A and B are shown apart, each in its own frame.
Chain A
């Protein structure tokens, strides 16, 4: 899917949870939200973008809070299903 769009959606989720003073809580909540509502394919693409960012590549503007949340809490989905 259009990665810019996915990043925009992820950042918006991040914007909401950023209000929570406890960063760890916010990150866990961001990851949980994405886990609950995004398809495996969308999560895979987001994780790929995060990984790319970790290696100094293009992040498409993904906020650090969201990238950290994904790195820490978002598991690579099994390959089954779309």
Chain B
């Protein structure tokens, strides 16, 4: 295998129904109207030299290297900025052109250091290539003139960004980086400062990159044709030898990456141009924050211990797995078949998740399996199934490029789903309208060249009231798409719903008192969404993580149906999934009530199918959900758990409750790459593999199944799917697979929406959006096109029921939580990378008003207390949050954000209400009791990892 370089057509693809035929170097070429001469030539197999053009960016026409001759035209037009015309006759090579191009190159090279042999871009530099192509042999001006590179003039490189360096001495001022930051990323962090000879690239207001508004997405580095902007890993290690296409293991965008490797070492991760989820873009996490995979904290030997108050003992795989199996069987013998269960994670591949639920159902013999989607998107699964008939988003990401109005509810795409955020910003710059429904002023509300038309800044916990008010306006002002509803939806349910939302209590004037949003803004937003053309809704955990999460998901589906915004490009209901494989882990049957493909365990036909394939009988009753597991543990009826890739002790609400439940269990088996918070309560530790160490598939928020490919062997010797197989075998239920592709084959056999999926097919197509079967052999980009999956769409009633978490005298503020661009969820991965330079601690955002009232200044330590617990964070005083609302992220365990969150949860799915907790905030001078205990406990568990027992402190409870 060698390194794969995608072809560069010089200018972006154009689509047009009109085709244009021209002649280039004697050959006839036909391309869509609007295509550049450069691209047409490249498509015909003729490469025109270029420097400032690349096909990810609009042409700029500054380098003058791409000159051509066109019959009947004077001079030498630049082929990158010249669109094709019918009958055009173009010559790309002539003696004159060669002379002109050499002249251009000569000028460039006269101000460029001649250190190609020691340059980090050596072997992968477009300037070098072009010098070769034009046959540059001498630089007549010499290298001694005024320049940017010699000792006297060179400016020191900017190495402030942890991942890439900027060396102005090598810059050819082609402007590609500036355009990449604008057009692809949409951050506008770069400019060309100065004029003529003095012009240079500048970040921010001539700041170091790190201090500028740069978000380190890497688009400029990718676009730079020279070594000016270069990954530090390449500077250090040199160019890679081979590359493999794989999928980012962070967020639900599921970006496709080219992993460039040397031996077993990753040199860099480059966004894959043909990746359909990201189209060549990336964010700082996937692009740069992969170093955790080889972090010294990785645990690579299996370990066991009898109690959590003693040191770990390193053992063989065999011993660890047999020990775990014996413990599970002993617990079942003593307390019953249902006393054990498993938790899978959205960080696992489809194949791994499938195996864990299979192990629970076939080897444990119960349905006590759940996944972390319980705590994020379970309401999406429930709500979309009830209304539309399938537990998944309806669109492709690309669909947003055809949206006319976008409604973003409880999501923060530029931080949480950055690559989608960039795509959305691009569409907004092109003129699409924007409605933001969020208690905070997220970046999208106002960012360069983007401003929300409406920001409905509601009080946390009042989503449903707002959605009902929007529906009220649409229905009572006659904006409903009656024709669509009549044709596509259940009539009786619609009429009932229409009556319901038309009631005066749902009018925006009435809900204003609940939501805090003025009626006029709600009316304006509703009119805009219903009438502006294609309306697309994107939502996140700010919708689902509420006591009415499922109700809100259904309310969103109602809005899309009543306006006819389902079933084509540019519209739809789009859940932005938190983790890379949330969709997949749900698809794979990891909920306690569902077999793969969202089929209820009580359905005997489906059960029969799996029973025949697995050779066991399957329990027809639903099993325990994660929060039920904790309750049952405290009850003494659930005592053993197998947790793969999930950190419930940090990520689940009411930490102290979770810790108490874990402490109560007799056998906690954690399979993970680090000693995470949960592993501190474990009895068996099975070392996991990172995404770089295994084969499998992830399914992103668009239902897109993409391959994860192994670029290095598992550090601990076993891939996660092999570990689950071994555990199952030790439990007396052998599962035999030679390769993860065989697991996918089994999934495909047993799941109608996956019938057509196989590794071979994914390899052939690049990626596949399910359903993929006989009816849709190449997958299904847009769902519900002619009819809803459930037949007719069903409107569901969505009465607003206030949450129990209400601000009161004792806890007068509402805490809501979210994430930040540079850190990822519990942070186990990103905290172990240089991403900490952007975010080294979780902070509490508080409005100046509330801060002043409490004597809190920016940077002060503040205690945050709820009825569940209290913690201490540093305050950021900011107007981003509204008075009465405070906000924090939850990336660091010591912050204890979830010590404060309560066990209040969504009525339908028990998804915790992370987004609303009534709290009080006071200025303090020391950490909370929990934090002090947590610190001691963690120190102690770290010592146990080294096999030490701390004298005198035999037991420390956290």
User: CA A48 – CA B551 in complex, angstroms?
Assistant: 29
The answer to whether B622 touches A36 (Cβ under 8 A) is yes
Is the CB of B417 closer than 8 A to any CB of chain A? no
Contact A82/B336 with A1-B632, A42-B628 known, Cβ cut-off 8 Å: yes
What residues of chain A lie closer than 8 Å to B500, measured between beta carbons? Answer: 19
Which one of B445-453, B794-802, B832-840, B938-946 is at the A interface? B794-802
Partner of B368, one of A20, A37, A82: A82
Would you give the 0/1 interface string for B329-352, flagging 1 where the beta carbon is closer than 8 Å to chain A? 000000011110000000000000
B621 proximal to A (CB < 8 A): yes
Given A38-B622, A39-B621, are A81 and B366 also a contact pair (CB < 8 Å)?
A: yes
Q: How many residue-residue contacts, CB under 8 A, span A and B?
A: 77
Interface status of B79 (Cβ within 8 A of chain A): no
Instruction: Contacts A1-B635, A81-B338, A82-B337 given; indicate if A39 touches B624 (C-beta within 8 A).
Output: yes
CB-contact partner of B622 in A13, A15, A18, A37, under 8 A = A37
Known A2-B631, A19-B797, A36-B622: A9·B637 in contact at CB below 8 Å: no
Size bracket, chain A contacts: 20 to 34
Q: In the docked arrangement, what's the CA distance between A20 and B499, Å?
A: 11
Which residue from chain B places its CB closest to the CB of A43 in the assembled complex? B621
Q: Does A72 contact B (CB under 8 A)?
A: no
When the two chains form their complex, are residues A81 and B621 in contact, meaning their CB atoms are under 8 A apart?
yes
- Contact, CB under 8 Å: B593 / A37: yes
A19-B907 contact, Cβ under 8 Å, with A36-B602, A82-B339 = no
- Contact (Cβ within 8 A) A19 B628: no
The A31-59 residues at the B interface (CB cut-off 8 A) are 33, 36-42
Determine how close the nearest CB of chain B comes to the CB of A19; give it in whole angstroms. 4
* Contact assessment for B621 and A16 in the assembled complex, using a CB-CB cutoff below 8 Å: no
Q: Which of B548, B635, B907 contacts A9 (CB 8 A)?
A: B907
Smallest beta-carbon distance B617→chain A, Å: 11
A59 to chain B, nearest CB (A): 18
Are the C-beta atoms of A5 and B908 separated by less than 8 Å?
no
Of A2, A12, A77, A81, the contact of B907 (CB 8 Å cutoff): A12
> A4 to chain B: closest CB distance in Å?
11
Contacts of B496 in A (CB 8 A): 20-21
* Cβ-defined contact, B338 with A82, below 8 A: yes
**Contact flag A33-B908 (CB < 8 Å), given A1-B635, A15-B801, A41-B637:** yes
Q: Mark B615-635, 1 if CB is under 8 A from A, else 0.
A: 000010111110010011011
Given the complex of chains A and B, what is the CA–CA distance between A41 and B339 in angstroms? 12
A41 to B624, CA, bound (A): 10
- Given the interface pairs A2-B631, A5-B631, A36-B593, the reply to whether A16 lies near B801 with Cβ below 8 Å is yes
Chain B residues closer than 8 Å to A20, beta-carbon distance: 496, 797
Q: Name, among A19, A38, A41, A82, the residue most crowded by chain B CB atoms within 10 Å (CB to CB).
A: A82
- CB proximity of A12 to chain B, nearest CB, Å: 4
Bound form: Cα–Cα A41–B636 in Å = 13
**Residues of chain A contacted by B336 (CB below 8 angstroms):** 82
Decide yes or no whether B699 CB sits under 8 A from chain A.
no
CA distance A5 to B904 in the complex (A): 10
In the bound complex, residues from chain A placing their C-beta under 8 Å from that of B909 are 37
CB atoms of B907 and A40 under 8 A apart:
no
Q: How far is the CA of A80 from the CA of B338 in the complex (A)?
A: 10
Enumerate the 10 nearest inter-chain pairs by beta-carbon distance, A residue then B residue, closest first: A82-B338, A19-B799, A12-B907, A19-B797, A1-B631, A15-B801, A81-B621, A40-B621, A16-B907, A13-B907
Question: What are 24 A-to-B residue pairs whose CB atoms are below 8 Å?
Answer: A1-B631, A2-B631, A5-B631, A9-B907, A9-B910, A12-B907, A13-B907, A15-B799, A36-B593, A36-B622, A37-B622, A37-B625, A39-B338, A39-B623, A39-B624, A39-B628, A41-B338, A41-B637, A81-B338, A81-B366, A82-B336, A82-B337, A82-B623, A82-B637
Residues of A at under 8 Å CB distance from B? 1-2, 5, 9, 12-13, 15-16, 18-21, 33, 36-42, 77, 80-82
